[in-house]
Structure 1
Amino acid sequence: MVAVFNKELLSWYLITLKLKETVEAGVSRCQESPTPTGNLSLVSAQQQADPWKNSVEVGSDNDEAKTICSDYEWVISVRDKLEQARQDELFGSWSKLSIYRIPKCLQEPDDKSYIPQIVSLGPYHYGKKRLREMDRHKWRSLNQVLKRTKQDVRIYFNSMKELEEKARACYEGTITLSSNEFVEMMVLDGCFVLELFRGAAGG
């Protein structure tokens, strides 16, 4: 016979044994059924009862075991998705985006307010037939800049080539323009805007 010197300690010991039996029974049932994350490894009583917190709930029947399994799988799924979001934030280009496409739902009531009617700037409407009339004015603007600065056009194209990757990352979605097309567009549009501002400032 074992002498009991501390009834409270004995009570906690018995509760711990009961919890261990309950958890092991629940885990064995979880492992028998296929789950999207594979067989669940043995986890602590706190995680089985409530994976979010360190609280403990005792359950021994089949329904409770199934609920524990289902809850645990759901928490794993949520955590996996959060981890994927963190990876996207870390390695993706979300933080670099600064130029977005107008959602279709905003364009539908009055698309003329969002679609260029005379001149396009940037890649989203590049090359559209009805806007090509302004291309010759863009080339005229580039020519004016070169005449004024007395610089070689290669300086502008080479400088923009170095910034191409960074510039592309600013736009939402995939830009289908080739490298040469994108660089040419940025140089022409940039010089056109500068000359437009110069003309407005000069009256």
Structure 2
Amino acid sequence: MAKLYFKYGCMNSSKSANLLMIKYNYEEQGFRVVLLKPSLDDREGKSVIKSRIGIEAKCNLVNPESSIYNCYDADKTDVLMIDEAQFLTEKQVDELYNISFNIPVICFGLLTDFSQHLFEGSKRLIELAESIHEIKTVCQCGARANYNGRFDGEGNLITSGEQIVIGGNEKYKALCKKCYEGMRKQSLVKRRRQ
């Protein structure tokens, strides 16, 4: 059904794997699927969506200044799927909303950043998507993870700084509220002692 979908989850919740499995299912039924991802997602350094479990597919890159309309061929697309949708601009999400009148548009991404704030793309998707679904994952303690922790090279939780860091050496981990807050307090105490 033609509508705008947003499937979100914390780090390591298998968002890309879900996207690739849904793509496979559509293609098995004869649908022409086009994959997009923002160029800000430079983990792979190329035009590919890759899951940590080892599956991957080629995609088209979307630059922050690009129009979504210029990133795919509407006449040859039955389904449009976007990975890392949190990195989209508000204008690009508005374009996806308009595209979703004609074909299904399925977006996958993070909801909030390491400091518990919405990303621009995610905020607009929450405002416009007709279907919003959480892809759940667990914290290291076994509880449901709701937050994305960013850690420096020494394992300290980072709670301030740039929302998007390109080429940094930070590591990310999905955390529950209790673990996130406990690590935040430990990091504050450690900084005060230094």
Q: Where is the helix percentage greater, Structure 1 or Structure 2?
A: 1
Q: Where is the strand percentage greater, Structure 1 or Structure 2?
A: 2
TM-score over 0.5 (shorter chain): no
Instruction: Kindly name which structure, 1 or 2, has the bigger radius of gyration based on alpha carbons.
Output: 1
TM-score by length of 1: 0.22
TM-score by length of 2: 0.23
